[in-house]
Amino acid sequence: MKGIKQKDRLNEAVYILSRPWFLGLALGFLLIPTTRISSALGTGAEFLKIDTDAKAVSMGSAYTAMADGVEAMRYNPSGLAGMKQVELGFSHTSWLLDTQHDFIGIAMPAGKRAGMTIGLGLTRLSNGRIESRNADRSVGSSHTAYDQAITASFAGQIKKTKVGIGAKYIESSLAGEKASAVAFDLGLMHGLGRLPLSVGLSVQNLGTPMKYISQKDPLPLTFAAGILVNVIPGFNMAMDVKRMVYDKRTDVSFGTEYSVLPMISLRTGYLMNNSRAGTGMNAINIGAGVNFWGTQFDYAVTPYGDLGNAQKITLKKKF
């Protein structure tokens, strides 16, 4: 009987996903950008495209409908809503070309009513010291370069719908020259009744352009729609469709998560039309997670061909 009920629930989920209203909502959301907006070329603050959570990486970044903790500040701020405990998170990545990508954040309940939660986070991409060359090709002085974003997010919940907003101050520094911008993220999640299905929508990096001297570049404005299906207890499947407006491209990603034991999860993900690091190649990600005593440790690895592998670790603790 249990198997039959589960099958019926999945059939209902497929039925809803195939309805014109749902397809229209998703397509309309992804086609919000106007022709004028999408005609722009190139973006600044490319580091904002880099994932900040190992679990999300291992699921191919199909995380718009799945983010449910401190990491939601990066993927969908509405995922913060309803948190019962304070959560501290830290991620580190040995990124490509000897760069380091880090994230630290904290999220906490802001009140008992409407599942209110606030979050604060810092994302930073450090490039180390870069040597400059003189006109005669000799080694000149060296300088540092970095990109960072400080984020403050707020989320709440109304019945089965979560909503959230995030504000970001973005700064980039290269050879003593700095650029800055302000941006906002918007998000929504909704659980479809008794069905094992959730949908998520988000708008990321809606803000002012980055300006270096006289050069202005827009932020990587992104519209995303995602679904999360709990196929059977312990086994989740997720899919995201992301439209990167100024890059004029749409990425589709898939992810799966299987809990071998209550403490151990195995994950894999696949990205089509992958734009990360400008490789333009499809990517298969793998990873695993361990959860014990309110502490979660996640690991993910992504191959980038001749550029090498990017490995990310994430540690989260609930208090």
pLDDT, residue 203, reads: 97
Token pair belonging to 161? 């719908």
Domain 2-34+51-129+144-314 fold is: Porin (2.40.160)
What are the pLDDT digits (tens) for 36-55?
A: 333 334 567 889 998 999 99
Domain ranges of the chain: 2-34+51-129+144-314
Token pair belonging to 139? 């080694």
Single-letter residue type at 7: K
- Stretch 182-199: mean pLDDT, rounded? 90
What are the pLDDT digits (tens) for 72-99?
A: 999 999 999 989 999 999 999 887 667 8
Distance CA 147, CA 232 (A): 41
Burial class for 189, CB neighbours closer than 10 Å (0-12, 13-18, 19+): buried
Encode 237-257: b = buried (16+ Cβ within 10 Å), e = exposed: bbbbbbbbbbbeeebebbbbb
What are the pLDDT digits (tens) for 229-256?
A: 999 889 999 999 999 999 888 999 999 9
Token pair belonging to 315? 């540690």
Distance CA 165, CA 265 (A): 30
